[in-house]
Chains A and B, each alone.
Chain A
Amino acid sequence: MSEYAPVLSLEGLHVGIGGTSILHGIDLEIKRGEIHAIMGRNGSGKTTAASTIMGHPDYEIESGSIELDGADLLELEPWERARKGVFLSFQYPQSVPGLQVGHFLRKSVAAIRGDEAAKGAPFRNALKSAMEEVSIPRSFLSRYVNDGFSGGEKKRFEILQLMLLKPKLAILDETDSGLDIDGIRVVSRGINAAIRGSESGALIITHYSRILEHVKPDYVHVLIKGKIVKSGGPELALELEEKGYEWLESDAKEDD
């Protein structure tokens, strides 16, 4: 796989919001088929990283670069990034009253994968099997996007979109938060179906290691105060589960 450029490459990424710096130089490389996890406490900058890669206009890039498949993303609008293959599963998905789920899915697939992919039997079949995978009933299609959804339904709907949009890079921001064990199992099934065996890369952002028991990461990074202080294999997640983040926080201070 080394002949390909990485799916995602972050180099020396410094990001701020409203004049306050949050990320202080992030380096990260995700190759095809790899699943990376970023773990950290609340406020460590995890969501900032996710939103910045998607192109949220509130975040200012102070320095550094973001590349997808070797191409610069910084000048692109969020929808252009989406069309290039970046997907973000939101921690708090927004509701759009009056916009039907079925219509929205079809339009989104057309926007990102082209009109052909959103047509006829192939689309219907893909939709049907993806809905089964994440236990979403048919009646869901006529509801309005995230309007009155339970927390679990919102997360399953995000993963349904992931499965249909087939991105090159899937960023999953706190997909496990607010889910019970069964909920985590269902969304993990969807994530594995979308990522495993594909050439997509994935970045799972989480607080706890629970979801990582179901979606095994290849690499785990620990984010503290806007810096990656430690990287390792899946065993690092277990270590964090046992010891918490405190033992790493002193490292972060030394670096400041």
Chain B
Amino acid sequence: MAMEEAREAVGDYKEGWHDPEHSTIRFDSGLSEEVVRKISQIKNEPEWMTEIRVKAYRHFIDRPMPGFGDREALEGIDFDKVCYYLRSSDSTEKDWEDVPEDIRNTFDRLGIPEAEQKWLSGVTAQYESEAVYHSIREDLESQGVIFLDMDSGLREHPELVKKYFCSVIPYQDNKFSALNTAVWSGGSFIYVPKGVSVEMPVQAYFRINAKNMGQFERTLIVADEGSSIHYVEGCTAPTYSTDSLHSAVVELIAHEGAHIRYSTIQNWSANVYNLVTKRGIAHKDATIEWIDGNIGSKLTMKYPAVILKGEGSHAEVISVAYAGKGQHQDAGAKIHHLASNTTSKILSKSISKDGGRGSYRGMVTVSPKAENCKLNVVCDALILDDGSQTDTYPTMEVANPSARCEHEASVSKVSDDQVFYLMSRGHSEEEALAMIVNGFFEPFTRELPMEYAVELNKLMALEMEGSIG
């Protein structure tokens, strides 16, 4: 039957091309204390940073793999085969014209300079280990907004970085936060001063190009009292037969009354391990929102977290995951209500197709002293065919009886009758599936800037089509 055939078709990964590798510095693969010290030395870092890297490295070595998620896939990571540092351009440019041509072409192809002109306040473009391009609108700079790649951030604002680095996610948090702290390179550093609202989003784009590459960007966003910012992150990598490792750490600090929205569209090729730790602290009346889209990768383990530390603070995590052939998306959210009158909302949507596996893993806690908290968790899964799988691991630990908790979960399958209904209105089987899938993701896409929503819808249509070259 045609329906089966359409579902078997796997969309070719659109961003799977790669440029010839060129590097000004490339480390041999494998990790040692020497490698860690060398990264720090190349970057000319202050002593305290070198020390924390080395401590983190030792912790990484001692720390076992996580006892949850896809343990079998995790055991498949060969840390000795990963390249931990690769610099392909000697400096971070402020003008696209100065970026080496083939790297510039890559970002052109990904549409970054175009998006920058149209609707962004600033852009960082990272290629392998280092940012190759960086710019911010002058009016924001004059208001005191700092938006730098993390390495420049450390050089130019060492005190601010020292104050907040590892303050939300200590290197001991988990094996991969330790790894990232040991070998981090690139990422964004943002500081928004008191009362400043950054109206248009700023974007960082992370591109892996080389084989067996490990990308370990480190992002730190501090929004001071009453300020607001929307940060958008995009990621892609070429398709290789060997694996790449992406292991980022993102720390957010929202001071009193501040608002941070962090949107991600990760569209990794199917050979990337994506093991990311993301967490924010919300102080009094602050809001932190994670809008998290996970498409592609071999295995993603990611649970954006918010610690509601100040009274009246609010957290939202809206995430979607698409697990195709040979892919496992183990994603979810964590929220800790530590203060009274805090509210949170988790909406998780996953789609599994062609034998893919989508898992929701979530945790919400309310501490004994936190009065009148409200929390709402909704997780929906959509399965496109019989061989695909979904599972849910929700945890709620509520230690204060005044909390109002709501939890809903649903699993649905695309029915033949639903597809037939849309086909009877002139839509081919692939179009019908794309309409159903995009509809399922709609609560997520409506939170994205329009350009991203359109892009995501196109991406899902391609996944349903399986016939693009």
Chains A and B form a bound pair: yes
Contact A94 B415 (CB under 8 A): yes
Q: In the complex, A95→B443 CA distance in Å?
A: 16
Contact B426 A79 (CB under 8 A): yes
Contact A108 B420 (CB under 8 A): no
Residues on the B chain within 8 Å of A196, using CB: none
Q: Indicate whether A96 reaches chain B with its CB closer than 8 angstroms.
A: yes
Question: 8 Å CB contacts to A: which residues of B430-450?
Answer: 431-432, 435-436, 438-443
Contact B439 A161 (CB under 8 A): no
Which of these, A58, A78, A96, A98, contacts B423 with CB under 8 Å?
A78
Which of these, B1, B436, B441, B443, contacts A57 with CB under 8 Å?
B1
**Interface-lining segment among A20-28, A82-90, A211-219, A248-256:** A82-90
Residues on the A chain within 8 Å of B440, using CB: 97-98
Contact B426 A82 (CB under 8 A): yes
Q: In the complex, A212→B426 CA distance in Å?
A: 28
Contact A98 B441 (CB under 8 A): yes
Contact A111 B427 (CB under 8 A): yes
Tell me the total A-B contact number using a CB cutoff of 8 A.
83
Contact A94 B443 (CB under 8 A): no
Interface residues on A, range: 20 to 34
Residue of A nearest to B349 (CB): A98
Q: Indicate whether A93 reaches chain B with its CB closer than 8 angstroms.
A: yes
Q: In the complex, A79→B416 CA distance in Å?
A: 14
Main secondary structure of the interface of B (DSSP, over half): helix
Residues on the B chain within 8 Å of A57, using CB: 1-3, 416, 420
Question: 8 Å CB contacts to A: which residues of B397-433?
Answer: 415-418, 420-429, 431-432
Contact A79 B427 (CB under 8 A): yes
Contact A161 B442 (CB under 8 A): no
Q: Indicate whether A195 reaches chain B with its CB closer than 8 angstroms.
A: no
Residues on the A chain within 8 Å of B2, using CB: 57, 77
Contact B1 A96 (CB under 8 A): no
Contact B420 A56 (CB under 8 A): yes
Nearest CB on B from A229, distance (A)? 29
Contact B420 A99 (CB under 8 A): no
Question: 8 Å CB contacts to B: which residues of A93-107?
Answer: 93-99, 104, 107
Q: Which of B3, B423, B440, B441 has most chain A Cβ within 10 Å? A: B423
- Indicate whether A78 sits within 8 Å of B439 (C-beta atoms), given known contacts A57-B3, A57-B416: no
Nearest CB on A from B58, distance (A)? 48
Q: Which of A54, A57, A108 has most chain B Cβ within 10 Å? A: A57
Contact A111 B435 (CB under 8 A): no
Residues on the A chain within 8 Å of B436, using CB: 96, 99
Nearest CB on B from A140, distance (A)? 16
Contact A108 B441 (CB under 8 A): no
Q: Indicate whether A165 reaches chain B with its CB closer than 8 angstroms.
A: yes
Q: In the complex, A217→B332 CA distance in Å?
A: 57
- Indicate whether A112 sits within 8 Å of B435 (C-beta atoms), given known contacts A98-B440, A98-B443: no
Contact B415 A112 (CB under 8 A): no
Residues on the B chain within 8 Å of A112, using CB: 425-426
Contact A144 B423 (CB under 8 A): no
- Indicate whether A54 sits within 8 Å of B424 (C-beta atoms), given known contacts A94-B415, A98-B438, A99-B439: yes
Which of these, B3, B416, B420, B439, contacts A144 with CB under 8 Å?
B439
Q: In the complex, A58→B3 CA distance in Å?
A: 11
Residue of B nearest to A111 (CB): B426
Q: In the complex, A88→B426 CA distance in Å?
A: 11
- Indicate whether A98 sits within 8 Å of B427 (C-beta atoms), given known contacts A57-B416, A78-B420, A90-B421: no
- Indicate whether A93 sits within 8 Å of B421 (C-beta atoms), given known contacts A77-B2, A144-B439: yes
Knowing that A79-B424, A90-B421, A94-B420 are A-B contacts, what are 6 other residue pairs whose CB atoms are under 8 Å apart, sorted by A's residue number? A58-B416, A77-B423, A78-B423, A94-B417, A99-B436, A108-B425
25 intermolecular pairs with C-beta atoms under 8 Å apart: A57-B1, A57-B2, A77-B429, A78-B420, A78-B423, A79-B423, A79-B428, A79-B431, A81-B424, A94-B420, A95-B418, A96-B422, A96-B435, A96-B436, A96-B439, A97-B439, A97-B440, A98-B439, A99-B442, A104-B435, A111-B425, A144-B439, A144-B442, A165-B425, A165-B426
